[in-house]
Amino acid sequence: MIETYGELILPKGFILYHTSDELFEMKPKESHPILFCVFHPSEWELNYVTKIILKKDISLFFAIDFNPNPFCIMKKITKTDFFIKNVKSAKNYLLLLSSKLNENNFDGWIGLQKINNIEVGLINDNYDFKTEPLKKDWKREGMNYNKTIVIQKNWGLNYPLLFNNTNLKINERYKDMIELYIENENKYKFNKCLQVLLRDTIIDYHEGIINDINWNNMKCKISIIDRYMFK
């Protein structure tokens, strides 16, 4: 999977955020195999923000492609006979996914939500965390009264985006697409976490044979269940 696609490495001490409509409570892995997080609370804006502090360096399957616009490469599993036979619920799906990612030495994945916001799905493994009330200091992008001027997004100061110590190792076939994406998005001055990540992270491109994911004769690109099902 790393050879064909890529991985994002987050260092020990890196901070992610989980957002929800109620105070956070760590759930057992059996019922909640994946802990959904974001790099900045504005990308999944709810009432409570939980700080997730990584206890170790982690490797995330990089499940984002570019053509040149970003899209999630995990799209086809729900249409396969394997999925219909083996996965009866979203929880079963996430248990299967966490198991397969773990077998491939990943700690989770980075993928896309709707409107190209990105999120991290961590395999539930008792990560360090602390809860804190929402201290919203960011403002979304918008237009002025006459709808003639774009008002750029203000990320605020409470939840800084710190990707300078992260490392994206990715197949060289992505190089031109990523560079084109960054060039096209520069005019928006980084309204999305994905733009900031690709601007600031260290990107290492490697050669590799391109193969579809094949798990137990399941030859397809896999898809993500929407996170709202497992807050």
Locate the domains of the chain by residue range: 6-224
**Which residues on neighbouring strands pair with residue 38, listed in sequence order?**
17
- List helix spans (H) across 68-203: 81-86, 90-103, 175-185, 193-200
pLDDT in tens, 2-11: 777 899 999 9
Contact 139, 146 (CB under 8 A): no
Tell me how crowded residue 30 is: count the other CB atoms within 10 A of its CB.
9
Those residues with Cβ within 8 angstroms of residue 119's Cβ, 6 or more apart along the chain or in another chain: 36, 37, 38, 43, 44, 110, 111, 112, 113, 227
Global pTM value: 0.85
Phi and psi, residue 108, nearest 5°: 160, -155
Q: pLDDT per residue over 105-136, tens digit each? A: 999 999 888 778 999 999 988 667 777 778 88
Highest average pLDDT, of 78-87, 119-128, 211-220, comes from 119-128
Q: How many CB atoms are closer than 10 A to CB 29?
A: 15
The pair of structure tokens assigned to 154 is 């203000």
Q: What is the pLDDT of residues 166-199, one digit of tens each?
A: 999 999 999 999 998 888 876 666 789 999 999 9
The β-bridge partners of 48 are 20, 133
